[in-house]
Amino acid sequence: MAHALLTLILWLVTPSIAWSLTFEGYHSQGEIRSFLVRLTAENPQLIRFQTLGYSDAGRPIDLVTLTSGDRETLPAIYINGTHHGDEKSSTEATLGLLDYLVQHKDESLVRDLLSSYTIYIQPLVNPDGHASNTRFDANGVDPNRDYAIPGHTEEDAFKTPIVRIVRTLMDRVKFRAALALHSGMEGVLWAWGHSATRPPDADQFFTIARLMAKTMGIEQFRQSFDDYPSQGEFIDYAYMAHGTLALTLEVSHAPTPPPKDLEGVVRRATLGMMTFLLAVSDLDRGGLTITRNSTTARDIIPWARIQMRGFGRTH
């Protein structure tokens, strides 16, 4: 099936997505877990639910995987939210993607993704920070500065159990691509954050990030270092240690926007995440035109025609 983003038109049908979960307000951790368990029970051939471990305060760290194919052999893509507990729109956005994939599982684009990849979704990397509405874990450590990179070695890193859980998962699965959701700005970032050096896959990162930014109607897409230098980020570790194409999606200017704005944030973030998934798929099929990492690169998609089924215009 022709699947390249160069020719892709996602049909516009109605302005309302078929949510099974409402986004009129933020969900508690109990509600999030109940949602994951319910979707798993309703879709046993598609979804598996597991608890990866527990935080310092004993809160469960849950994960769902989605695929209609062989979980052991298909390439895997990992999407996580809430490294920073006060960035609650990132939590909700992971739920939006999960809901979208399940509600639209019989449509051709989603069906093709789910037969080609195993998609891992972890809404809460840092449940203790989420509970206390803080960036940090229960011991005051920033989880997104706790990964090993050059200059921040294994001995200095992985102090938090929640980040060790992520490391164990990544050691086991070897993800093809990953997306870490944050909030506090609107933009798409890629490795490296610890260095101004261009990564080996800079043009692939640039192309994917640019597609996501264009479909979401946001202006910022850049190497993470150019946003601000940082040590110990998830995306740097994932790319350095495993060769995972790892990006950050910042979903909203406010870490936790007002509830009245939440549904719009989740809609747009889901559109960006779907673009990410489709771009990785097209890259793997050889159908994605790689654009040079240059601000003068030409548009490669007629963006005015691109619409995600169920979303309507986002900007």
Query: Does residue 156 lie within any of the structural domains?
Result: yes
C-alpha 28/C-alpha 50 separation (Å) is: 19
Do residues 149 and 237 touch, judged by C-beta distance below 8 A? yes
Question: Is residue 272 situated within a structural domain?
Answer: yes
Report the CATH number that the domain containing residue 189 is assigned in CATH.
3.40.630.10
How far, in Å, CA of 310 to CA of 229, rounded?
38
Report if residue 249 sits inside a domain. yes
Residue 17 lies in a domain: no
Residue 45 lies in a domain: yes
pLDDT (tens place) for every residue of the chain, 315 residues total: 334 343 343 433 334 456 689 999 999 999 999 999 999 999 999 999 999 999 999 999 999 999 999 999 999 999 999 999 999 999 999 999 999 999 999 999 999 999 999 999 999 999 999 999 999 999 999 999 999 988 778 888 999 999 999 999 999 999 999 999 999 999 999 999 999 999 999 999 999 999 999 999 999 999 999 999 999 999 999 999 999 999 999 999 999 999 999 999 999 999 999 999 999 999 999 988 887 764 333 333 333 333 444 444 333
Phi, psi for residue 250 in degrees, rounded to 5: -90, 115
**15 domain residue, yes or no:** no
204 is in which domain, residue-wise? Answer: 29-305
Rounded Cα–Cα distance for residues 307 and 1 (Å)? 19
Asked, for residue 283, whether it belongs to a domain, the answer is yes
In a domain, 143, yes or no: yes
Query: How many structural domains is the chain composed of?
Result: 1
The strand pairing partners of 251, in sequence order, are: 186
